[in-house]
């Protein structure tokens, strides 16, 4: 009955339902990352009990990297579970898991699952073939939209709707980019593709669970999402919503996951504004990583003066600017670092010596001495407002990881 269902065009949902009845329990199909694709719709109580198993993380992902194949008894919630791999042509496609609340499964259950896994592989392979064609057209459209080539507004909205996407609403462009440089890695190309596919699937699954009409596509090292928001949402509301999705995508960090940075654009309400928003999100990713390091989540509006720095493609020019402006303060030494900290605090407090001394935990006269020393090195920044502005900019560039370097 299971084989016949799939061979006649049945879905994974039908397979899970048939299998749940056969095994008198709950059944789930997950991708290779452990994200649940399908659950049996029968035996709701069994399914609720299955979700209480400690094999799931807080996001609902099956922590596949910590689970063994075969039968596992689960004394904490009662009953047991059995898991097998879904494979086709030596390609790992996912996991098939069955849960029973009132018995410990046996080898016969595993055998049943293994037979069902072969049938599931047919259904997944068929679905992937259709999805690959759809993804091709979706990717082409999204590339065009981000490059300003999607055509007139009404045409672009209609085209997106035909692909199952809604772009006729307030959105932010979200770019998630892996921190590892795939052009400089020792990983085999096949492994890189597998990791990027997993990364993309995680984003697609997490974002479309929130809203099924959200456009999400993977490009090279990045995943781009046209993230829908409420028209009245504040910047912090947007960051909080995106952060929730990022947390789900990251899971517990296992299973071959790579860290990634996330950039968020300003809100757009028109297809015509998508190219600008895409550039903003890319800048937020790049500068956010330089300022905060790996795994940063950065909104374009939070870049402040870094928004201007992000427009400068010549990093060598920025290096020279730091060296020419800060002189010995650009060096990577403890003394230079202490001088930079002192200078930064003075500028941030608008040259309030008493407040700066308090924050530095030093005597007022000690700070006066340091100011004299800094003016010998940098010039009369105490009285020269333009010099202070230049120094403030140089300190910010120096703080951008991967840009500033000692002379």
Within this chain, do residues 98 and 226 fall inside the same structural domain, yes or no?
A: no
pLDDT recorded at residue 1: 53
DSSP string, 263-276: EE---B-SGGGHHH
Rg (CA), the chain: 27
Helix (H, G, I), strand (E, B) or coil at 71: strand
User: What are the tokens at 380?
Assistant: 């009369």
Integer Cα distance of 9 and 4 in angstroms: 9
Within this chain, do residues 331 and 301 fall inside the same structural domain, yes or no?
A: no
Within this chain, do residues 178 and 301 fall inside the same structural domain, yes or no?
A: yes
Contact 80, 103 (CB under 8 A): yes
* Residues 208/156/200/187 CA torsion (nearest 10 deg): 180
> Which of 280, 309, 338 is where one domain is finished?
309
Within this chain, do residues 304 and 342 fall inside the same structural domain, yes or no?
A: no
87: left (phi > 0), else alpha (psi -120 to 50), else beta? beta
Residue 103 DSSP class: S
How many CB atoms neighbour CB 250 within 10 A?
Answer: 16
For position 68, which CATH number holds? Answer: 3.30.450.40
Within this chain, do residues 301 and 320 fall inside the same structural domain, yes or no?
A: no
Integer Cα distance of 407 and 404 in angstroms: 9
88: Cβ contacts below 8 Å, ≥ 6 apart: 121, 122, 124, 125
* Count of domains for the chain: 3
Closest to 233 (Cα-Cα) out of 208, 262, 268 = 268
pLDDT tens per residue across span 341-380: 999 999 999 999 999 999 999 999 999 999 999 999 999 9
Task: Report yes or no on 138 lying in a domain.
Answer: no
Assessment of whether the complete model's pTM goes beyond 0.75 = no
Contacts 24+ apart (CB under 8 A), 339-346: 339/370, 339/373, 339/374, 339/377, 340/395, 340/398, 342/367, 342/370, 342/374, 343/374, 343/378, 343/381, 343/391, 343/395, 344/392, 344/395, 346/371
Within this chain, do residues 201 and 298 fall inside the same structural domain, yes or no?
A: yes
pLDDT tens per residue across span 102-113: 888 889 999 999
* Residues 299/300/305/306 CA torsion (nearest 10 deg): 90
340: Cβ contacts below 8 Å, ≥ 6 apart: 326, 329, 395, 398
pLDDT recorded at residue 317: 84
Q: Tally the residues of the chain.
A: 407
> Which of 288, 309, 330 is where one domain is finished?
309
pLDDT recorded at residue 294: 87
DSSP string, 323-355: HHHHGGGGSSSHHHHHHHHHHHHHHHTTS-HHH
User: What are the tokens at 172?
Assistant: 């932010």
pLDDT recorded at residue 290: 81
| Domain limits for position 85 | 2-129
pLDDT, block means (10 residues), the chain with 407 residues:
53 86 89 87 79 83 87 84 90 90 88 91 82 82 93 93 94 94 79 85 88 92 94 91 91 66 95 94 89 90 79 78 93 92 94 94 94 95 94 87 45
Contact 239, 299 (CB under 8 A): yes
Residue with structure tokens 């791999």?
85
Contact 385, 336 (CB under 8 A): no
Within this chain, do residues 216 and 299 fall inside the same structural domain, yes or no?
A: yes
Residue 12 parent element (H or E): helix 12-23
Within this chain, do residues 340 and 304 fall inside the same structural domain, yes or no?
A: no
Within this chain, do residues 80 and 198 fall inside the same structural domain, yes or no?
A: no
For position 174, which CATH number holds? Answer: 3.30.70.270
Residue 374 parent element (H or E): helix 364-378
């Amino acid at each position: 009955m299971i084989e016949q269902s799939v061979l006649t065009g049945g879905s994974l949902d039908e397979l899970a339902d048939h299998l749940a009845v056969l095994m008198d329990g709950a059944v789930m199909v997950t991708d290779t990352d452990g994200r649940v694709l399908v659950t049996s719709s029968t035996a709701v109580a069994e399914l609720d009990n299955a979700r209480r198993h400690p094999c799931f993380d807080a996001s609902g992902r099956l922590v596949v990297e910590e689970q063994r194949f075969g039968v596992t008894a689960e004394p904490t919630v009662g009953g047991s579970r059995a898991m097998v791999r879904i494979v086709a042509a030596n390609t790992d496609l996912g996991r098939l898991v069955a849960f029973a609340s009132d018995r410990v499964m046996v080898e016969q259950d595993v055998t049943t699952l293994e037979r069902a896994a072969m049938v599931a592989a047919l259904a997944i392979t068929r679905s992937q073939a259709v999805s690959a064609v759809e993804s091709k057209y979706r990717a082409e459209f999204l590339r065009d939209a981000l490059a300003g080539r999607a055509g007139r507004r009404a045409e672009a909205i209609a085209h997106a709707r035909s692909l199952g996407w809604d772009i006729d609403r307030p959105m932010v462009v979200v770019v998630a980019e892996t921190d590892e440089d795939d052009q400089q890695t020792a990983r085999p190309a096949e492994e890189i593709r597998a990791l990027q596919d997993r990364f993309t699937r995680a984003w697609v699954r997490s974002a479309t669970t929130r809203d099924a009409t959200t456009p999400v596509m993977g490009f090279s090292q990045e995943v781009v999402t046209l993230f829908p928001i409420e028209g009245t949402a504040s910047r912090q509301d947007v960051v909080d919503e995106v952060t929730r999705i990022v947390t789900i995508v990251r899971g517990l960090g296992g299973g071959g996951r790579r860290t990634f940075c996330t950039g968020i654009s300003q809100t757009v309400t028109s297809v015509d504004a998508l190219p600008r928003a895409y550039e903003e999100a890319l800048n937020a990713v790049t500068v956010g990583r330089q300022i905060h390091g790996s795994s940063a989540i950065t909104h374009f509006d939070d870049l402040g003066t870094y928004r201007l720095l992000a427009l400068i493609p010549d990093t060598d020019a920025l290096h020279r600017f730091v060296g020419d402006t800060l002189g010995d303060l650009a060096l990577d030494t403890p003394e230079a670092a202490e001088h930079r900290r002192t200078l930064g605090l003075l500028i941030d407090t608008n040259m309030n010596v008493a407040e700066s001394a308090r924050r530095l935990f030093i005597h007022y006269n000690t700070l006066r001495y340091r100011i004299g020393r800094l003016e010998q090195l940098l010039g009369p920044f105490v009285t020269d407002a333009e010099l202070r502005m230049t120094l403030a900019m140089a300190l910010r560039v120096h703080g951008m990881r991967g840009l500033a370097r000692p002379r």
